[in-house]
């Protein structure tokens, strides 16, 4: 970056002119309404240099003009020194650029620390829905960004495959299923099991209504509904290892896993490893016992075990019930420790979980730190807001969720309708068209969700997301395809380095954007924010389209300029492809 190159030069000048040594200089990109590429903020220097900030800026500017080949001009606006950087610097940077689809990435060190990212983590009583889509897209994208920033990454999930929720689906299937299977119904397994979760809720409400009519108060009726008592008994049987119950549980969960895998493949996300709550729910108890001996936890009179976090501004938290059974916190403690044991090179974990669990993770991370695990300093909760729809909130029990598979299908269909209206697919086969509709639809969905800061709620409108203009996935994809069209038409060798050129301001803007990407990638990795990558990509595409509309590329008569502009287009294409891949978005070569 030009900032890091200018930094020692300016510091040397300040020492020479004012005999002061400045530790930190503040550089920023020059505002669009002023001439310049880089701005030095002079005001912080007034702590060590007395004088008028505009005069100090003028003095520094003249020094750089006389001593540095990087600076070709400057202007001063109050205490801001706007520096114009030579075209030669940007051309040299551009010629040294790695122009390929791995633009901006750093290979992980073979012996470096790894980080594990958890995402998805569904329940096995229902299909994945719109909320899961945001979770999966965030977790997958953050994994890709961390890997591109030079980290070794393990992608994982923990599947909530036990508990009363799956028993409710199992009981309903026994009562109303008549032995039907995914094969006999033609339904994906997760949808079939999800239907029985809805059916359970319907039957439960009917039974509660009947009990109330028979004279029970509503609270007691809800506890005494026969189908609930059956589900509770089924859970007890499962926990005791009853062979028939376990066999039914395995069969129905297997249906769900196969359904999930289809959805993950369609969404374009994957995992390196999976954990199952049925395997992990007993983990953690031994570590609590050890912590009890060390005084980290304490036992109450009823036998339950707690930790006091009031000094840290939190509250007291139970980790073992009076009967010795674990709570979710205990399980999460054990699972975190187990993951480090399974992958000893891990030195950090990222949990992609909605913001309703913010407090849970504050407590979990603090407990692990108190237990003395060094890696507990590197635990992160990738907290995100919920996804709302124009129609209102989703409810799983009532079957009013937006199914992930249905949403992806709807996005493809919407892309098909809009593309047909635009009429730009002449010459495509039907197979090619359908693949393009899928790419456009998914690109629109992913970009719409990932361009928003994770902490913010999203109001998702499928039709608004598929627009070939504006801050959308299809606009970015269309620009990439436009670049590929230019490259196909460039029937000459344009590989020679660009030299002896006077850059158009829009060309310089594009090179500056390319120069900023590696730093932005590291920032996105540190902040766990795909939104930074998404909005950078939009800025890059906007700048390229402005260049495309005002600067001739293949039509310019000067061969040196033509060759350079094709090279620049190619580099922008690689940058778009690289950035989009970090978001899990495919870019088509034709649209």
Through-space distance between the first and last CA atoms of the chain, rounded to whole angstroms: 34
Would you give the DSSP letter of residue 551?
S
Would you give the DSSP letter of residue 155?
E
Apex 20 CA angle, 17 and 22, nearest 5: 115
Note the pLDDT of residue 398: 47
Note the pLDDT of residue 394: 43
Note the pLDDT of residue 400: 54
Whole-Å CA distances, 37 to 29, 75, 84, 337: 6, 11, 5, 49
Q: Would you say how long the chain is, in residues?
A: 591
Q: Which one, of 165, 177, 353, 332, lies nearest residue 253 by Cα?
A: 165
Note the pLDDT of residue 519: 93
Task: Supply φ then ψ for residue 472, to 5 degrees.
Answer: -135, 165
For 5-21, how does the pLDDT look when each residue is reduced to its tens digit (9 = 90+)? 999 999 999 999 999 99
Note the pLDDT of residue 392: 53
Which residues in the chain show pLDDT less than 50? 393-399
Residue-range domains of the chain with CATH: 2-85 (3.30.1360.70), 163-268 (no CATH), 404-582 (1.10.730.10)
- Please give the structure tokens belonging to residue 534: 């998404």
SS (H, E, C) 492-503: CCCCCCCCCCCC
Whole-Å CA distances, 452 to 385, 460, 471: 10, 11, 11
Q: Which residue has the tokens 């504006």?
A: 470
Whole-Å CA distances, 207 to 200, 213, 283, 290, 513: 10, 10, 37, 46, 63
CA distance 478 to 464: 16
Q: Can you list the positions of beta strands (E) in 32-151?
A: 38-41, 71-77, 80-85, 114-118
Whole-Å CA distances, 520 to 24, 510, 525, 574: 20, 15, 9, 16
Task: Supply φ then ψ for residue 387, to 5 degrees.
Answer: -105, 120
């Amino acid at each position: 970056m030009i900032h890091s190159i200018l930094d020692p030069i300016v510091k040397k000048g300040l020492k020479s002119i004012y005999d002061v040594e400045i530790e930190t200089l503040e550089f920023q990109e020059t505002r669009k309404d002023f001439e310049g590429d880089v701005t030095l903020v002079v005001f912080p220097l007034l702590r060590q240099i007395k004088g008028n900030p505009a005069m100090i800026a003028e003095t520094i500017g003249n020094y750089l003009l006389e001593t540095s080949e990087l600076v070709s001009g400057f202007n001063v606006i109050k205490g801001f020194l706007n520096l114009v950087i030579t075209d030669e610097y940007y051309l040299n940077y551009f010629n040294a650029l790695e122009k390929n689809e791995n633009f901006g990435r750093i290979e992980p060190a073979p012996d470096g620390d790894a980080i594990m990212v958890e995402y998805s983590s569904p329940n096995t009583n229902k299909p994945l829905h719109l909320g899961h889509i945001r979770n999966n897209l965030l977790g997958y994208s953050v994994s890709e960004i961390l890997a591109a920033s030079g980290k070794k990454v393990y992608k994982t999930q923990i599947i909530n495959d036990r508990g009363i929720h799956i028993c409710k689906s199992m009981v309903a299937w026994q009562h109303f299923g008549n032995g039907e299977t995914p094969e006999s119904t033609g339904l994906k397994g997760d949808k079939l099991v999800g239907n029985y979760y809805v059916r359970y809720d319907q039957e439960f409400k009917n039974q509660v209504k009947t009990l109330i009519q028979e004279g029970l108060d509503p609270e007691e009726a809800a506890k005494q509904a026969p189908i609930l008592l059956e589900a509770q008994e089924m859970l007890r049987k499962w926990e005791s290892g009853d062979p028939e119950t376990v066999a039914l549980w395995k069969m129905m969960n297997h249906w769900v896993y196969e359904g999930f895998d289809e959805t993950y493949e369609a969404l374009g996300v994957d995992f390196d490893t999976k954990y199952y709550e049925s395997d992990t729910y007993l983990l953690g108890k031994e570590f609590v016992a050890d912590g009890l001996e060390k005084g980290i936890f304490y036992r109450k009179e009823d036998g339950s075990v707690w930790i006091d976090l009031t000094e840290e501004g939190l509250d007291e938290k139970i980790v073992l019930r009076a009967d010795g059974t674990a709570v979710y916190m205990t399980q999460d403690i054990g699972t975190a420790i187990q993951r480090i044991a399974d992958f000893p090179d891990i030195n950090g974990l990222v949990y992609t979980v909605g913001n309703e669990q913010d407090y849970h993770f504050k407590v979990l991370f603090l407990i692990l730190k108190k237990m003395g695990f060094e890696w507990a300093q590197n635990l992160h909760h990738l907290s995100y807001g919920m996804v709302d729809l124009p129609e209102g909130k989703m409810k799983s029990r009532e079957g009013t969720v937006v199914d992930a598979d249905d949403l992806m299908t709807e996005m493809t269909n919407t892309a098909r309708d809009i593309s047909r209206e635009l009429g730009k697919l002449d010459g495509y086969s039907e197979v090619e068209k359908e693949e393009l509709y899928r790419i456009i639809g998914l690109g629109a969905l992913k970009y719409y969700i990932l361009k928003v800061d994770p902490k913010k709620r999203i109001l998702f409108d499928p039709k608004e997301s598929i627009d070939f203009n504006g801050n959308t996935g299809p606009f970015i994809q269309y620009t990439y395809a436009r670049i590929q069209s230019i490259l196909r038409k460039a029937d000459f060798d344009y590989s020679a380095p660009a030299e002896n050129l006077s850059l158009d301001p829009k060309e310089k803007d594009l090179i500056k954007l390319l120069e900023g990407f590696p730093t932005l990638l590291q920032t996105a990795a540190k902040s766990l924010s795909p939104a930074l990558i998404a909005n950078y990509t939009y800025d890059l595409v906007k700048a390229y389209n402005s260049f495309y509309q005002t600067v001739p590329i293949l039509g310019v008569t000067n061969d040196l300029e033509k060759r350079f502009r094709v090279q620049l287009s190619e580099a922008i294409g690689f940058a778009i492809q690289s950035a989009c891949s970090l978001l899990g978005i495919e870019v088509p070569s034709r649209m």
